[in-house]
């Protein structure tokens, strides 16, 4: 295929030693078709949108025709899955097609998920199905729209294959982008094999690509570890502040670029519950909402272990340094969490002393089973508004009356010191920190069902457009903002591989 002038591939990961990956070609699929394509993202990546949506572009996006500089590879990695170490996982159904420079000059991986078997497929078929591909597209793009670091979705492609799962399902490929696909598990792959030289090569690669600020530090690897700890503490506090539950925080699903990756059984909570779990295979609640910060610290500890040979020549000193840095996670996480949550309560500059106010609000939600997102969003209706002025329905009445009749409400108003002069400012803080919409699980499932089984793609496009305006002011009866009725609740999600 002719090398289109708009696609300039780089292959920086390819320049690493052969032990880092396997060269592999995407499999031929019977009949590829574009299901969704992300125009805005394609522009950011300097890709020619009008070309992408034509035959040649689709052939390129689906890996059916490789452009001149494309040297596709499947990446090697290991990982702790639900606490058990698997020394070799790797891209079993994914391929790194190449890297492109975005408009800001940053290198982004173009990565295909569901493009066929690789040497890492083990017993898997190398396929993905349309439902989970669209689910990842919807949720990752929403995360981006509310400024949570994430891999992005460039396109969803149908393959024309029938894929065998519990049912026969349509095959699909997700074209996703990331600032790099290096995971905690990538480091573990080499650490498990005592390949210290490769740990250094991998560290130098990712520092140059994603953590350049560490290059000027006295101890580059110490600074690198600290940057990783900071960015992951920040990421998890952001998840917590929107009620996001990742569902499968294995070390191979912790991306070191600080981006949320691998949207399998993830979901957003409706009624607040600290112990909420969605994943159908998470019997112990290991990856429940409240456990996410602890799990991340556990994953970071596994990461720090792999870096020990680089931190100091003396292993005891290395361990001490790593322990000290990991010891900072709790404080970093807490201050980021207070800042995010405090602003969701309308506080301009949240302080450590606001911790109780935040926790009391969460406890109020927990004991009254209040909807997480709406409870925060409705606070904006309580600033400068008297109860009678608020349009109510049975759905929101419970939230408003529970909040207004609580002790917490008085404490909140006292903390904000709401008056005529500052109410507009407070309102603004509330509205820019509380999205009016989240991709609720029952709506995601309905939209997917309509798009896949009923051939109604309009519902999907309408939902994607709404999610793309997360801070738009929405009235109470906007259907996307409504929690599920008891018979609509979808409390389990599946890895959907």
Considering only residues 234-273, where is the footprint of ligand AMP by CB under 6 A? Answer: 252-253, 262, 264
Q: How far apart are CA 357 and CA 421, in angstroms?
A: 23
Catalytic, out of 91, 252, 354, 371 = 252
Written as six digits, the tokens of 266 are 């993830």
* Nearer residue to Mg ion within complex by CB, 32 or 78: 78
H helices of 379-440, where? 394-404, 407-416, 423-433
Single residue of 12, 395, 406, 497 touching ligand AMP by CB under 6 A: 497
**Beta bridge mates, 169:** 163
- Minimum distance of ligand AMP from residue 163's CB (angstroms): 8
What does 322 bind: ligand AMP, Mg ion, none (CB cut-off 5 to 8 Å by kind)? none
Q: Provide the 8-state DSSP code for 495.
A: -
CA distances from 20 to 76, 113, 268, 353 (A): 6, 19, 35, 47
48 is catalytic: no
- Collapsing DSSP states into helix, strand and coil, what is residue 496? coil
What does 495 bind: ligand AMP, Mg ion, none (CB cut-off 5 to 8 Å by kind)? ligand AMP
Element (H, E) at 241: helix 220-241
The residue count of the chain comes to: 497
Single residue of 33, 83, 87, 124 touching ligand AMP by CB under 6 A: 124
* Nearer residue to ligand AMP within complex by CB, 92 or 384: 92
- Minimum distance of ligand AMP from residue 212's CB (angstroms): 28
Site string for ligand AMP, 199-238 (x = CB under 6 A): ----------------------------------------
Q: How far apart are CA 257 and CA 227, in angstroms?
A: 10
- Minimum distance of ligand AMP from residue 414's CB (angstroms): 47
- Collapsing DSSP states into helix, strand and coil, what is residue 108? strand
Q: How far apart are CA 225 and CA 325, in angstroms?
A: 8
Q: How many other β-carbons are positioned within 10 Å of the β-carbon of residue 194?
A: 10
Q: How far apart are CA 7 and CA 63, in angstroms?
A: 14
Considering only residues 257-296, where is the footprint of Mg ion by CB under 5 A? Answer: 262
- Minimum distance of ligand AMP from residue 281's CB (angstroms): 10
Considering only residues 194-253, where is the footprint of Mg ion by CB under 5 A? Answer: 253
Binding site for Mg ion (CB under 5 A): 253, 262
What residues act catalytically? Answer: 252
Binding site for ligand AMP (CB under 6 A): 89-94, 120-121, 124-127, 252-253, 262, 264, 495, 497
């Amino acid at each position: 295929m002719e090398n289109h002038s708009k696609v300039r591939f780089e292959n920086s990961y390819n320049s690493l030693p052969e032990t880092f990956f396997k060269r592999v070609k995407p499999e031929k699929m019977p009949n590829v078709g574009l299901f969704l394509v992300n125009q805005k993202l394609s522009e950011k990546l300097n890709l020619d949108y009008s070309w992408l949506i034509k035959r040649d572009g689709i052939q390129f996006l689906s890996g059916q025709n490789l452009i001149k500089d494309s040297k596709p590879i499947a990446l090697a990695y290991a990982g702790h899955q639900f606490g058990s170490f698997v020394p070799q996982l790797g891209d079993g159904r994914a391929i790194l097609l190449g890297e492109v420079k975005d408009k800001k000059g940053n290198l982004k991986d173009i990565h295909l998920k569901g493009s066929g078997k690789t040497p890492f497929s083990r017993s898997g078929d190398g396929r993905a199905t349309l439902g989970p591909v669209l689910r990842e597209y919807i949720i990752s793009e929403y995360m981006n729209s509310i400024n949570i670091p994430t891999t992005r979705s460039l396109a969803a492609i149908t393959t024309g294959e029938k894929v065998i799962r519990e049912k026969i399902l349509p095959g699909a490929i997700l074209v996703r982008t990331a600032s790099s696909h290096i995971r905690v598990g990538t480091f573990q792959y080499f650490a498990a094999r005592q390949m210290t030289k490769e740990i250094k090569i991998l560290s130098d690669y990712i520092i140059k690509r994603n953590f350049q600020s560490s290059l000027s530090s006295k101890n580059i690897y110490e600074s690198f570890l600290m940057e990783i700890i900071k960015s992951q503490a920040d990421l998890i506090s952001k998840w917590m502040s929107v009620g996001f539950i990742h569902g499968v925080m294995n070390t191979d699903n912790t991306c070191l670029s600080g981006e949320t990756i691998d949207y399998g059984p993830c979901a957003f909570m409706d009624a607040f519950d600290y112990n909420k779990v969605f994943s159908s295979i998470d019997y112990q609640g290991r990856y429940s909402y409240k456990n996410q910060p602890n799990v991340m610290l556990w994953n970071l500890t596994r990461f720090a272990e792999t870096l020990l040979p680089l931190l100091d020549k003396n292993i005891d000193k290395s361990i001490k340094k790593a322990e000290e840095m990991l010891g900072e996670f709790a404080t970093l996480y807490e201050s980021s969490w207070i800042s995010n949550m405090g602003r969701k309560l309308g506080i301009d500059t949240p302080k450590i002393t606001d911790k109780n106010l935040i926790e009391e609000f969460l406890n109020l939600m927990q004991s009254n089973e209040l909807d997480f997102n709406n409870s925060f969003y409705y606070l904006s209706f309580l600033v400068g508004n008297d109860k009678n002025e608020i349009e109510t329905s049975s759905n929101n009445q419970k939230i408003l009356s529970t909040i207004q009749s609580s002790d917490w409400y008085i404490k909140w108003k006292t903390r904000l010191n709401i008056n005529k002069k500052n109410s507009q400012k407070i309102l603004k803080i509330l509205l820019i920190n509380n999205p009016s919409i989240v991709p609720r699980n029952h709506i995601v499932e309905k939209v997917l069902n309509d798009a896949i089984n009923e051939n109604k793609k309009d519902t999907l496009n309408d939902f994607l457009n709404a999610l793309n305006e997360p801070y738009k002011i929405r009235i109470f009866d906007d259907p996307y903002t409504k929690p599920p009725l008891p018979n609509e609740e979808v409390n389990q999600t599946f890895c959907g591989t």
